[in-house]
């Protein structure tokens, strides 16, 4: 999927009762964090047996990464057929391929196919459509203390962010930075410095800022996280945001 060139629109927060089965070889991924922040209940499966067992919990949707090292050859396609045959729609994530590859996924039962790097706003919108197609779009709920943003290191452009991240950034930074097209200068400077430190093998340090007004006893902290380039794109970083009392 091509990277967005504009700030993504605010996406609806999921119903807390919406359960997703995420089939992915790596247990720690930005994908899981973003889905949980968006209000989904997650069932995680890192292998075929766990994936098949997870269907017994009745997920509303299966998000399946087709890169499963334990399943060589057509193994991932066979697992896709079994999961799709269990009743829940399946959304697949895979490496860029041609139309023939997409046709194979659809023939095996995939309801939707996305190719890496995946734009998170697109993924969330498709999950919303597959799990609650008849319900109207809801406004984002009040901000939560944690959130995620994926940014381009070169210029601080935010390629995707959760609704919680938008709410937190708007509370701590004045316009035009509150619109989130770019990181504020002080946050971008910190990102450049810490990215260099991380490449040099040093442990990156966090950045903590105070709000513009109100809630003077709270602070917003940024932590730099190295993310899979196939998820967020080459030259991009994931920022974890945490709002906490000053103490």
Q: Are 116 and 233 in contact (CB under 8 A)?
A: no
Model pLDDT, residue 193: 92
| pTM, 2 dp | 0.57
Is the pLDDT at 125 greater than 90? The verdict is no
Structure tokens at 70: 């334990």
Q: In degrees, to the nearest 5, what angle opens at C-alpha 24 toward C-alphas 160 and 231? A: 25
E strands of 26-130, at which residues? 41-45, 61-65, 90-94, 112-115
As a whole number, mean pLDDT of residues 2-26 equals 57
Q: Are 165 and 13 in contact (CB under 8 A)?
A: no
Structure tokens at 230: 């196939």
Common-topology check for domains 19-131 and 146-245: no
Model pLDDT, residue 36: 81
Model pLDDT, residue 1: 38
The share of the chain scoring above pLDDT 70, in percent, equals: 77
Model pLDDT, residue 190: 94
The DSSP symbol for 14 reads P
Strand ranges across the sheet with 90-94: 41-45, 19-23, 61-65, 90-94, 112-115
Domain range summary for the chain, segments of one domain joined by +: 19-131, 146-245
Q: Which fold has domain 146-245?
A: Beta-Lactamase (3.30.450)
- The tens digit of pLDDT for each residue in 64-84 reads 998 888 888 888 999 999 999
d(CA 211, CA 169): 9
Structure tokens at 112: 């939707």
- The tens digit of pLDDT for each residue in 107-122 reads 889 999 888 878 777 8
The DSSP symbol for 59 reads -
- The tens digit of pLDDT for each residue in 36-58 reads 878 889 998 988 899 999 999 99
Specify the CATH number of the domain 19-131: 3.40.50.2300
Residue 223: which H helix or E strand, with range? strand 218-225
């Amino acid at each position: 999927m091509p990277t967005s060139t504009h700030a993504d629109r605010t996406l609806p927060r999921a119903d807390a009762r919406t359960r997703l089965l995420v089939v992915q070889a790596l247990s720690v991924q930005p994908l899981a964090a973003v889905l949980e922040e968006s209000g989904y209940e997650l069932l995680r499966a890192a292998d075929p047996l766990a994936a098949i067992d997870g269907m017994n919990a009745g997920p509303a949707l299966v998000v399946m990464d087709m890169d499963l090292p334990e399943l060589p050859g057509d193994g991932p396609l066979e697992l896709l057929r079994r999961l799709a045959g269990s009743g829940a729609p399946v959304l697949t994530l895979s490496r860029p391929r041609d139309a023939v590859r997409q046709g194979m996924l659809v023939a095996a039962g995939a309801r939707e196919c996305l190719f890496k790097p995946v734009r998170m706003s697109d993924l969330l919108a498709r999950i919303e459509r597959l799990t609650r197609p008849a319900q109207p779009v809801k406004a984002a709920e009040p901000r939560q203390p944690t959130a995620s943003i994926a940014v381009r290191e070169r210029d601080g452009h935010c390629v995707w962010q959760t609704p919680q991240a938008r709410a937190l950034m708007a509370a701590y930074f004045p316009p035009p930075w509150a619109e989130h097209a770019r990181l504020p200068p002080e946050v971008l400077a910190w990102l450049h410095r810490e990215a260099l430190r991380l490449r040099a093998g040093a442990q990156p340090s966090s950045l903590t800022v105070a709000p513009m007004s109100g809630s003077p006893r709270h602070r917003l902290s940024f932590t730099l996280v190295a993310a899979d380039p196939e998820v967020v794109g080459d030259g991009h970083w994931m920022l974890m945001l945490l709002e906490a009392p000053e103490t």
